[in-house]
Amino acid sequence: AQCNVPDLASLTPAHREILPNLHMHRGKFPHVRQEDNFCLRCKGYLSTKKSGHYKFYTASDDGSLLYLNGAKVVDNNGCHGERERSSEDKYLSAGTYELVVEMCEKGGGEAFKVRYEGPDTGGSKVTVPASALKHEHKRLAEGLECDYFYDQARCYVPDLGGLTPSHSAVLPNIYMHNDKFPHVIQDNNFCIRCSGYLSTKNSGNYKFYTASDDGSLLYLNGEKVVDNNGCHGERERSSQQKFLGPGIHHLVVDMCEKGGGENLKMRYEGPDTGNSKVAIPASALKHEVKPFYADGLDCDYFYGKAQCDVPDLA
């Protein structure tokens, strides 16, 4: 522990929780797993209904910081008992503003209270209510989001992530062959990049396969696990066994067709398939749809990192 809050933005949190608001004191810090030497980083959005001048306050023991749209507006850092510091008046229009608050407790008592005053409060200083605090809630739907590229095909799949697609579509699964490539607008010299998530229900070892004409690549959680690159007729290649727990895993599959026949089939086997090799079903493939915003802030918890001045918790 030091007297400066560490760089929490560069640290991996021990766990994450949604808090409706920030008005905590000794014995009433929800979800905290130890009494001393912990930090919190809560982020989301502040929603204002009325335009005008607002002032923000943090009262904390020990240090705390408050950022609005990336600018530090309250600095209440350091080792101290409960102490309140405020921002300057900030003119805000009705709308939504990115909000980050950080706090560390080195030892002894602990408190963390975030308040504001302005047009939405009738000029009174109040705890920022849950109805004014929002966090982004990720929503997933079945299928993968696929980007289509034309006249970019080579024998080795190019970096499709660096190119601008001609159009996009959601595909329920990846099991395509001649004349059955949905949404493709030319027979040859095209590439596809499909991305989203693989949802697994059971822990264990999984194996992944792509069969393609021409080249294909499959990435799982950022790691290339199937390399079926090159110009060739339909050919299948597999990954090594990959241990996966239940949950969602980032998935990307790339494929290019230079000329002739075209195929792209993605299969897997493991605990969710009874260890049979099957086409990955739409129910196991997910993509993000437009998020919605729910009340409260998304808070990360860190242990053994507390300093009197809040570190970079991001």
Cα 305 to the center of its chain, rounded Å: 23
Q: Where are the domains of the chain?
A: 8-138+293-303, 174-280
Pick the CATH number of 8-138+293-303 from 3.40.50.150, 3.40.640.10, 3.40.50.2300, 3.90.182.10: 3.90.182.10
Stretch 240-254: mean pLDDT: 90
Angle at 286 between CA 281 and CA 288, to 5 degrees: 160
In terms of pTM, does the model score above 0.85? Answer: no
pLDDT in tens, 60-88: 998 999 999 989 999 999 999 999 999 99
The 3-state DSSP class for residue 160 equals helix
257 bridge partner residues = 190
In the structure, what pLDDT confidence band is assigned to residue 179 with cuts at 50, 70 and 90?
low
Q: To the nearest whole number, what is the mean pLDDT of the chain? A: 89
In the structure, what pLDDT confidence band is assigned to residue 1 with cuts at 50, 70 and 90?
very low
Task: Assign residue 8 a region (left: φ > 0; alpha: ψ between -120 and 50; beta: otherwise).
Answer: alpha
- Which amino acid belongs to residue 76? N
Q: What is the CATH number of domain 174-280?
A: 3.90.182.10
Provide the 10 A C-beta neighbour count for residue 205. Answer: 13
The 3-state DSSP class for residue 161 equals helix
Q: How far apart are CA 101 and CA 267, in angstroms?
A: 44
Q: How far apart are CA 225 and CA 240, in angstroms?
A: 7
Q: How far apart are CA 20 and CA 132, in angstroms?
A: 10
Q: How far apart are CA 62 and CA 292, in angstroms?
A: 34
**Structure tokens belonging to residue 70:** 């990336």
Q: How far apart are CA 309 and CA 49, in angstroms?
A: 33
pLDDT in tens, 95-134: 889 999 999 998 888 999 999 999 999 999 999 999 999 8
Q: How far apart are CA 291 and CA 140, in angstroms?
A: 9
Question: Length of the chain in residues, anyone?
Answer: 314
Its sign, for the CA torsion 157, 160, 165, 168, is positive
Its sign, for the CA torsion 14, 17, 272, 229, is negative
Picking from 96, 102, 103, the residue whose alpha carbon sits closest to that of residue 80 is 103
- Which amino acid belongs to residue 5? V
Stretch 210-234: mean pLDDT: 93
- For residue 224, pLDDT over 90 is answered with yes
